[in-house]
Structure 1
Amino acid sequence: MTPKEYVEAKQDKYYHVKNEAEYNWLMKKLEKDGYKWFSGYEPKSLPYCQSFEVICIEEDHNFLITHVHFDWFKENRSGKTLIEVSTLMKQDDKIYMTDEEKAEFDYLREKATLFSALDTIHSAAASFPKLWRRIFYFSSEQQSIKQLEFSRAFANPDLIVVKKPDRWAYMLKKEFRELFMMNNYLYLGLGNSRSLDPEYHTQSEWQQVDNKIKVAFKRVYEVEK
Protein backbone atom coordinates (compact mmCIF):
# COMPACT_ATOMS: atom_id res chain seq x y z
CA MET A 1 0.00 0.00 0.00
CA THR A 2 1.33 3.43 -0.91
CA PRO A 3 1.19 6.35 1.54
CA LYS A 4 -1.57 7.96 -0.56
CA GLU A 5 -3.66 4.76 -0.49
CA TYR A 6 -3.03 4.56 3.24
CA VAL A 7 -4.31 8.10 3.75
CA GLU A 8 -7.44 7.44 1.71
CA ALA A 9 -8.18 4.26 3.64
CA LYS A 10 -7.11 5.01 7.22
CA GLN A 11 -6.56 8.65 8.12
CA ASP A 12 -9.11 10.59 10.09
CA LYS A 13 -7.38 13.56 11.74
CA TYR A 14 -5.73 16.32 9.72
CA TYR A 15 -3.39 19.08 10.93
CA HIS A 16 -2.66 22.17 8.87
CA VAL A 17 1.02 23.13 9.05
CA LYS A 18 1.93 26.54 7.61
CA ASN A 19 5.58 26.91 8.61
CA GLU A 20 8.59 25.18 10.17
CA ALA A 21 7.81 26.32 13.72
CA GLU A 22 4.33 24.77 13.56
CA TYR A 23 5.74 21.58 12.05
CA ASN A 24 8.38 21.22 14.77
CA TRP A 25 5.80 21.81 17.52
CA LEU A 26 3.47 19.16 16.11
CA MET A 27 6.26 16.60 15.59
CA LYS A 28 7.40 17.03 19.19
CA LYS A 29 3.82 16.49 20.34
CA LEU A 30 3.26 13.40 18.18
CA GLU A 31 6.60 11.84 19.10
CA LYS A 32 5.82 12.24 22.80
CA ASP A 33 2.48 10.51 22.19
CA GLY A 34 4.13 7.51 20.52
CA TYR A 35 3.49 8.16 16.83
CA LYS A 36 5.82 7.24 13.95
CA TRP A 37 5.90 8.18 10.29
CA PHE A 38 4.38 5.72 7.82
CA SER A 39 7.98 4.87 6.85
CA GLY A 40 8.83 3.92 10.45
CA TYR A 41 10.88 7.02 11.32
CA GLU A 42 10.40 9.00 14.53
CA PRO A 43 8.39 12.21 13.95
CA LYS A 44 11.23 14.62 14.75
CA SER A 45 13.70 12.73 12.55
CA LEU A 46 12.23 14.13 9.33
CA PRO A 47 13.06 17.82 8.73
CA TYR A 48 10.40 20.25 7.63
CA CYS A 49 9.68 20.77 3.95
CA GLN A 50 6.93 22.78 2.26
CA SER A 51 5.17 19.65 0.97
CA PHE A 52 4.24 18.83 4.58
CA GLU A 53 1.18 21.07 4.38
CA VAL A 54 -1.31 18.69 5.96
CA ILE A 55 -0.18 16.12 8.53
CA CYS A 56 -2.46 13.10 8.92
CA ILE A 57 -2.77 10.68 11.81
CA GLU A 58 -4.97 7.62 12.05
CA GLU A 59 -7.58 7.17 14.77
CA ASP A 60 -6.93 3.49 15.45
CA HIS A 61 -4.01 2.08 17.42
CA ASN A 62 -1.09 1.89 14.97
CA PHE A 63 0.11 5.43 15.78
CA LEU A 64 1.17 6.21 12.20
CA ILE A 65 1.65 9.58 10.51
CA THR A 66 1.78 10.63 6.88
CA HIS A 67 1.21 13.85 4.94
CA VAL A 68 -0.69 15.17 1.92
CA HIS A 69 -0.74 18.39 -0.07
CA PHE A 70 -3.29 21.02 0.86
CA ASP A 71 -4.90 20.85 -2.61
CA TRP A 72 -5.37 17.08 -2.23
CA PHE A 73 -7.06 17.63 1.12
CA LYS A 74 -9.48 20.21 -0.34
CA GLU A 75 -10.38 17.93 -3.23
CA ASN A 76 -10.64 14.65 -1.33
CA ARG A 77 -11.39 15.50 2.31
CA SER A 78 -13.44 18.69 2.10
CA GLY A 79 -15.91 17.33 4.65
CA LYS A 80 -13.22 16.71 7.25
CA THR A 81 -12.13 19.17 9.93
CA LEU A 82 -8.68 20.67 9.33
CA ILE A 83 -7.07 21.38 12.70
CA GLU A 84 -4.92 24.50 12.67
CA VAL A 85 -1.62 23.85 14.46
CA SER A 86 -1.26 27.59 15.08
CA THR A 87 -4.46 27.47 17.17
CA LEU A 88 -3.18 24.49 19.16
CA MET A 89 0.06 26.31 19.85
CA LYS A 90 -1.80 29.34 21.23
CA GLN A 91 -3.90 27.08 23.44
CA ASP A 92 -0.73 25.39 24.66
CA ASP A 93 0.46 28.71 26.14
CA LYS A 94 -2.58 28.89 28.41
CA ILE A 95 -2.64 27.44 31.92
CA TYR A 96 -5.85 25.58 32.64
CA MET A 97 -7.31 25.32 36.14
CA THR A 98 -10.51 24.09 37.70
CA ASP A 99 -12.71 26.46 39.70
CA GLU A 100 -11.35 24.92 42.91
CA GLU A 101 -7.70 25.31 41.84
CA LYS A 102 -8.32 28.91 40.81
CA ALA A 103 -9.94 29.73 44.17
CA GLU A 104 -6.94 28.34 46.05
CA PHE A 105 -4.58 30.15 43.67
CA ASP A 106 -6.33 33.52 44.11
CA TYR A 107 -6.19 33.21 47.91
CA LEU A 108 -2.47 32.48 47.91
CA ARG A 109 -1.55 35.12 45.34
CA GLU A 110 -3.26 37.79 47.42
CA LYS A 111 -1.49 36.82 50.64
CA ALA A 112 1.86 35.22 49.72
CA THR A 113 4.99 35.51 47.61
CA LEU A 114 5.69 32.83 45.02
CA PHE A 115 8.16 30.99 47.27
CA SER A 116 5.89 31.07 50.32
CA ALA A 117 2.88 30.03 48.21
CA LEU A 118 4.64 26.89 46.98
CA ASP A 119 5.93 26.16 50.48
CA THR A 120 2.43 26.56 51.92
CA ILE A 121 0.87 24.25 49.33
CA HIS A 122 3.52 21.62 50.03
CA SER A 123 3.32 21.81 53.83
CA ALA A 124 -0.43 22.39 54.18
CA ALA A 125 -1.88 19.95 51.67
CA ALA A 126 -5.13 19.63 53.60
CA SER A 127 -5.79 23.36 53.22
CA PHE A 128 -4.92 23.46 49.51
CA PRO A 129 -5.74 19.93 48.26
CA LYS A 130 -6.41 20.83 44.64
CA LEU A 131 -3.15 22.70 44.11
CA TRP A 132 -1.19 20.13 46.11
CA ARG A 133 -2.40 17.37 43.81
CA ARG A 134 -1.75 19.49 40.73
CA ILE A 135 1.85 20.30 41.71
CA PHE A 136 3.18 17.68 44.14
CA TYR A 137 1.32 14.46 43.32
CA PHE A 138 3.69 13.57 40.49
CA SER A 139 7.29 12.35 40.18
CA SER A 140 10.14 14.73 41.02
CA GLU A 141 10.66 15.59 37.37
CA GLN A 142 6.98 16.31 36.83
CA GLN A 143 6.86 18.34 40.05
CA SER A 144 9.52 20.67 38.63
CA ILE A 145 7.45 21.16 35.47
CA LYS A 146 4.30 21.82 37.49
CA GLN A 147 6.10 24.29 39.77
CA LEU A 148 7.37 26.16 36.72
CA GLU A 149 3.84 26.29 35.33
CA PHE A 150 2.55 27.61 38.69
CA SER A 151 5.30 30.25 38.64
CA ARG A 152 4.21 31.41 35.19
CA ALA A 153 0.62 31.70 36.41
CA PHE A 154 1.74 33.54 39.56
CA ALA A 155 3.66 36.06 37.46
CA ASN A 156 0.87 36.50 34.91
CA PRO A 157 -2.62 35.39 36.04
CA ASP A 158 -4.01 36.38 32.63
CA LEU A 159 -2.60 33.07 31.34
CA ILE A 160 -5.12 31.16 33.47
CA VAL A 161 -8.23 29.71 31.84
CA VAL A 162 -10.83 28.16 34.14
CA LYS A 163 -11.97 24.79 32.82
CA LYS A 164 -15.56 23.69 32.41
CA PRO A 165 -16.70 20.22 33.53
CA ASP A 166 -17.60 18.75 30.14
CA ARG A 167 -14.36 16.98 29.28
CA TRP A 168 -12.31 14.47 31.22
CA ALA A 169 -8.78 13.09 31.39
CA TYR A 170 -8.20 9.34 31.74
CA MET A 171 -5.21 7.96 33.66
CA LEU A 172 -3.72 4.49 33.22
CA LYS A 173 -4.80 2.46 36.25
CA LYS A 174 -2.22 1.60 38.92
CA GLU A 175 -2.44 -2.14 38.27
CA PHE A 176 -1.59 -1.63 34.60
CA ARG A 177 1.32 0.68 35.42
CA GLU A 178 2.66 -2.03 37.72
CA LEU A 179 2.02 -4.72 35.11
CA PHE A 180 4.03 -2.83 32.49
CA MET A 181 6.57 -1.60 35.07
CA MET A 182 5.87 2.08 34.35
CA ASN A 183 6.90 4.72 36.86
CA ASN A 184 5.27 7.65 35.08
CA TYR A 185 1.57 8.45 35.16
CA LEU A 186 0.24 7.92 31.65
CA TYR A 187 -2.95 9.35 30.21
CA LEU A 188 -5.14 8.55 27.26
CA GLY A 189 -3.75 10.81 24.56
CA LEU A 190 -4.23 11.99 21.01
CA GLY A 191 -5.79 9.29 18.82
CA ASN A 192 -5.99 6.87 21.79
CA SER A 193 -2.22 7.01 22.25
CA ARG A 194 -0.23 7.41 25.47
CA SER A 195 0.56 10.84 26.90
CA LEU A 196 2.56 12.01 29.93
CA ASP A 197 0.26 15.02 30.27
CA PRO A 198 -3.51 14.93 30.82
CA GLU A 199 -5.51 15.31 27.61
CA TYR A 200 -9.20 15.98 27.78
CA HIS A 201 -11.98 14.12 25.97
CA THR A 202 -15.74 14.55 25.64
CA GLN A 203 -18.00 11.70 26.63
CA SER A 204 -18.67 11.10 22.93
CA GLU A 205 -14.94 10.76 22.24
CA TRP A 206 -14.56 8.37 25.17
CA GLN A 207 -17.34 6.16 23.79
CA GLN A 208 -15.34 5.75 20.57
CA VAL A 209 -12.34 4.30 22.43
CA ASP A 210 -11.80 0.57 21.97
CA ASN A 211 -13.24 -1.35 24.96
CA LYS A 212 -9.94 -3.22 25.33
CA ILE A 213 -8.26 0.12 25.99
CA LYS A 214 -11.03 1.53 28.19
CA VAL A 215 -10.54 -1.11 30.87
CA ALA A 216 -6.97 0.12 31.47
CA PHE A 217 -7.91 3.74 32.21
CA LYS A 218 -9.85 5.58 34.89
CA ARG A 219 -11.39 9.04 34.72
CA VAL A 220 -9.44 11.45 36.91
CA TYR A 221 -10.22 15.08 36.00
CA GLU A 222 -13.64 16.56 35.34
CA VAL A 223 -12.14 19.49 33.50
CA GLU A 224 -11.70 20.86 30.01
CA LYS A 225 -8.43 21.75 28.36
Structure 2
Amino acid sequence: MSEDSSVTRATAIRVVVVDDHPVFRLGMAALLGSLPGVEVVGQAADEAEAVAVVAGAAVDVVLMDLHLGEDSGIEATRRIVHDDPAVRVLVITMQEDDESVVAALRAGARGYLLKGASPEEIERALRAVANDEVILGPKIAARALSTVTAGRSAVRVPFPDLTAREREVLDLVARGYDNPTIARRLVLSPKTVRNVVANVLTKIGAADRSAAIVAARDQGLGCAPE
Protein backbone atom coordinates (compact mmCIF):
# COMPACT_ATOMS: atom_id res chain seq x y z
CA MET A 1 0.00 0.00 0.00
CA SER A 2 1.39 3.41 -0.98
CA GLU A 3 1.90 6.18 1.53
CA ASP A 4 -0.89 8.25 -0.10
CA SER A 5 -3.43 5.42 0.12
CA SER A 6 -2.50 4.82 3.77
CA VAL A 7 -3.15 8.46 4.59
CA THR A 8 -6.46 8.41 2.71
CA ARG A 9 -7.69 5.33 4.61
CA ALA A 10 -6.51 6.73 7.95
CA THR A 11 -8.38 10.02 7.41
CA ALA A 12 -11.48 8.63 5.69
CA ILE A 13 -14.91 9.50 7.04
CA ARG A 14 -16.32 6.17 8.21
CA VAL A 15 -20.04 5.93 7.47
CA VAL A 16 -22.94 3.62 8.28
CA VAL A 17 -26.15 3.81 6.20
CA VAL A 18 -29.44 3.00 7.99
CA ASP A 19 -32.58 2.62 5.87
CA ASP A 20 -35.20 -0.11 5.67
CA HIS A 21 -35.54 0.17 1.88
CA PRO A 22 -32.75 -1.98 0.39
CA VAL A 23 -32.69 -0.24 -3.00
CA PHE A 24 -32.25 3.20 -1.42
CA ARG A 25 -29.79 1.88 1.18
CA LEU A 26 -27.61 0.11 -1.37
CA GLY A 27 -27.73 3.08 -3.73
CA MET A 28 -26.73 5.48 -0.97
CA ALA A 29 -23.90 3.19 0.11
CA ALA A 30 -22.66 3.03 -3.48
CA LEU A 31 -22.82 6.83 -3.82
CA LEU A 32 -20.95 7.44 -0.58
CA GLY A 33 -18.40 4.75 -1.34
CA SER A 34 -17.54 6.53 -4.58
CA LEU A 35 -16.64 9.77 -2.80
CA PRO A 36 -12.99 10.49 -2.04
CA GLY A 37 -12.13 10.17 1.62
CA VAL A 38 -15.37 8.35 2.51
CA GLU A 39 -15.57 4.69 3.58
CA VAL A 40 -18.87 2.87 4.09
CA VAL A 41 -18.25 0.50 7.01
CA GLY A 42 -21.75 -0.85 7.54
CA GLN A 43 -25.45 -0.90 6.69
CA ALA A 44 -28.59 -1.54 8.73
CA ALA A 45 -32.31 -1.85 8.12
CA ASP A 46 -33.76 -1.42 11.63
CA GLU A 47 -33.05 0.10 15.03
CA ALA A 48 -31.45 -2.93 16.70
CA GLU A 49 -29.24 -3.64 13.71
CA ALA A 50 -28.19 0.01 13.49
CA VAL A 51 -27.18 0.16 17.16
CA ALA A 52 -25.26 -3.11 16.84
CA VAL A 53 -23.45 -2.12 13.64
CA VAL A 54 -22.36 1.24 15.05
CA ALA A 55 -21.23 -0.36 18.30
CA GLY A 56 -19.14 -2.90 16.41
CA ALA A 57 -17.18 -0.45 14.26
CA ALA A 58 -15.34 2.84 14.52
CA VAL A 59 -17.94 5.16 12.96
CA ASP A 60 -17.85 8.88 12.27
CA VAL A 61 -21.24 9.51 10.65
CA VAL A 62 -24.53 7.59 10.48
CA LEU A 63 -26.98 8.38 7.68
CA MET A 64 -30.35 7.72 9.26
CA ASP A 65 -33.87 7.37 7.85
CA LEU A 66 -36.66 8.21 10.30
CA HIS A 67 -38.96 5.34 9.35
CA LEU A 68 -37.37 1.92 9.77
CA GLY A 69 -40.32 -0.38 9.24
CA GLU A 70 -41.82 -0.84 12.69
CA ASP A 71 -38.88 1.00 14.31
CA SER A 72 -38.16 4.69 14.78
CA GLY A 73 -35.10 6.42 13.40
CA ILE A 74 -35.54 8.99 16.16
CA GLU A 75 -35.12 6.35 18.82
CA ALA A 76 -32.22 4.75 16.94
CA THR A 77 -30.53 8.16 16.80
CA ARG A 78 -31.09 8.70 20.51
CA ARG A 79 -29.57 5.31 21.40
CA ILE A 80 -26.58 5.70 19.09
CA VAL A 81 -25.69 9.18 20.33
CA HIS A 82 -26.23 8.12 23.94
CA ASP A 83 -23.88 5.15 23.53
CA ASP A 84 -21.22 7.16 21.69
CA PRO A 85 -21.58 10.99 21.63
CA ALA A 86 -18.71 11.20 19.13
CA VAL A 87 -20.88 9.62 16.41
CA ARG A 88 -22.61 12.21 14.20
CA VAL A 89 -26.05 11.39 12.82
CA LEU A 90 -27.23 12.87 9.52
CA VAL A 91 -30.95 12.27 8.96
CA ILE A 92 -32.06 11.74 5.38
CA THR A 93 -35.78 11.14 5.11
CA MET A 94 -39.04 11.93 3.34
CA GLN A 95 -40.41 13.64 6.47
CA GLU A 96 -40.22 17.43 6.20
CA ASP A 97 -42.64 18.49 8.95
CA ASP A 98 -41.31 20.73 11.70
CA GLU A 99 -42.13 18.20 14.41
CA SER A 100 -39.90 15.53 12.85
CA VAL A 101 -37.04 18.00 12.42
CA VAL A 102 -37.28 19.13 16.05
CA ALA A 103 -37.54 15.56 17.34
CA ALA A 104 -34.50 14.45 15.31
CA LEU A 105 -32.36 17.33 16.52
CA ARG A 106 -33.46 16.79 20.12
CA ALA A 107 -32.48 13.14 19.78
CA GLY A 108 -28.96 14.22 18.81
CA ALA A 109 -28.94 14.45 15.01
CA ARG A 110 -26.48 16.97 13.59
CA GLY A 111 -28.05 17.31 10.15
CA TYR A 112 -31.36 16.90 8.36
CA LEU A 113 -31.85 16.32 4.63
CA LEU A 114 -34.78 15.27 2.49
CA LYS A 115 -34.45 12.26 0.21
CA GLY A 116 -34.80 14.53 -2.82
CA ALA A 117 -31.38 16.04 -2.05
CA SER A 118 -28.82 15.94 -4.85
CA PRO A 119 -25.61 13.90 -4.57
CA GLU A 120 -23.72 17.18 -4.16
CA GLU A 121 -25.96 18.27 -1.27
CA ILE A 122 -25.57 14.89 0.41
CA GLU A 123 -21.78 15.01 0.12
CA ARG A 124 -21.65 18.57 1.43
CA ALA A 125 -23.88 17.69 4.39
CA LEU A 126 -21.90 14.53 5.17
CA ARG A 127 -18.60 16.40 5.30
CA ALA A 128 -20.11 19.24 7.33
CA VAL A 129 -21.56 16.88 9.93
CA ALA A 130 -18.30 14.94 10.08
CA ASN A 131 -16.62 18.28 10.79
CA ASP A 132 -18.95 18.74 13.79
CA GLU A 133 -21.18 21.30 12.05
CA VAL A 134 -24.97 21.37 12.13
CA ILE A 135 -26.64 21.49 8.73
CA LEU A 136 -30.21 21.57 7.42
CA GLY A 137 -31.30 20.86 3.86
CA PRO A 138 -32.24 23.92 1.76
CA LYS A 139 -36.00 23.36 2.04
CA ILE A 140 -35.85 22.81 5.82
CA ALA A 141 -33.52 25.77 6.35
CA ALA A 142 -35.66 28.05 4.18
CA ARG A 143 -38.75 27.32 6.26
CA ALA A 144 -36.84 27.88 9.50
CA LEU A 145 -35.49 31.20 8.18
CA SER A 146 -38.97 32.22 7.07
CA THR A 147 -40.29 31.60 10.57
CA VAL A 148 -37.53 33.72 12.10
CA THR A 149 -37.76 36.63 9.63
CA ALA A 150 -41.56 36.70 9.89
CA GLY A 151 -41.16 37.25 13.62
CA ARG A 152 -43.60 34.49 14.46
CA SER A 153 -43.45 32.76 17.81
CA ALA A 154 -42.68 29.08 17.63
CA VAL A 155 -45.77 26.93 17.99
CA ARG A 156 -45.69 24.96 21.20
CA VAL A 157 -45.60 21.26 20.41
CA PRO A 158 -46.72 18.88 23.18
CA PHE A 159 -44.14 16.24 24.01
CA PRO A 160 -41.50 17.47 21.50
CA ASP A 161 -39.37 14.36 22.07
CA LEU A 162 -42.07 12.24 20.44
CA THR A 163 -42.17 11.64 16.70
CA ALA A 164 -45.21 12.77 14.73
CA ARG A 165 -46.48 9.17 14.61
CA GLU A 166 -45.96 8.67 18.37
CA ARG A 167 -47.84 11.88 19.10
CA GLU A 168 -50.67 10.79 16.81
CA VAL A 169 -50.94 7.46 18.62
CA LEU A 170 -50.82 9.17 22.02
CA ASP A 171 -53.62 11.50 20.95
CA LEU A 172 -55.80 8.48 20.13
CA VAL A 173 -54.85 6.79 23.40
CA ALA A 174 -55.92 9.98 25.20
CA ARG A 175 -59.27 9.75 23.40
CA GLY A 176 -59.80 6.38 25.04
CA TYR A 177 -59.20 4.11 22.04
CA ASP A 178 -57.66 0.67 22.57
CA ASN A 179 -54.76 -0.66 20.47
CA PRO A 180 -56.86 -2.64 17.94
CA THR A 181 -59.00 0.43 17.25
CA ILE A 182 -55.93 2.64 16.84
CA ALA A 183 -54.42 0.07 14.47
CA ARG A 184 -57.55 0.14 12.28
CA ARG A 185 -57.78 3.94 12.27
CA LEU A 186 -54.12 4.45 11.33
CA VAL A 187 -53.88 1.38 9.08
CA LEU A 188 -51.07 -0.10 11.17
CA SER A 189 -50.47 -3.58 12.49
CA PRO A 190 -51.46 -4.23 16.12
CA LYS A 191 -47.82 -5.08 16.86
CA THR A 192 -46.68 -1.70 15.53
CA VAL A 193 -49.23 0.12 17.66
CA ARG A 194 -48.22 -1.90 20.71
CA ASN A 195 -44.55 -1.00 20.15
CA VAL A 196 -45.34 2.67 19.59
CA VAL A 197 -47.42 2.85 22.78
CA ALA A 198 -44.60 1.22 24.75
CA ASN A 199 -42.10 3.74 23.35
CA VAL A 200 -44.42 6.62 24.19
CA LEU A 201 -44.86 5.50 27.81
CA THR A 202 -41.08 5.31 28.20
CA LYS A 203 -40.43 8.69 26.61
CA ILE A 204 -43.04 10.60 28.61
CA GLY A 205 -42.27 8.76 31.84
CA ALA A 206 -45.74 7.30 32.26
CA ALA A 207 -46.02 4.18 34.43
CA ASP A 208 -49.04 2.86 32.57
CA ARG A 209 -51.69 3.71 29.99
CA SER A 210 -53.87 5.56 32.51
CA ALA A 211 -50.98 7.81 33.52
CA ALA A 212 -50.25 8.46 29.85
CA ILE A 213 -53.86 9.52 29.25
CA VAL A 214 -53.73 11.97 32.15
CA ALA A 215 -50.40 13.43 30.96
CA ALA A 216 -51.59 13.67 27.36
CA ARG A 217 -54.83 15.43 28.24
CA ASP A 218 -52.91 17.81 30.47
CA GLN A 219 -50.89 18.80 27.38
CA GLY A 220 -54.00 19.26 25.24
CA LEU A 221 -54.04 15.93 23.41
CA GLY A 222 -57.20 13.87 23.08
CA CYS A 223 -59.37 16.95 23.54
CA ALA A 224 -59.79 18.49 20.07
CA PRO A 225 -62.85 17.36 18.05
CA GLU A 226 -62.11 14.85 15.29
Flag the structure with higher strand content: 1
Q: TM-score range by the shorter chain?
A: under 0.3
Q: TM-score, normalised by structure 1?
A: 0.27
**TM-score, structure 2 as length reference:** 0.27
Question: When you count helix as a share of all residues, which structure comes out higher?
Answer: 2
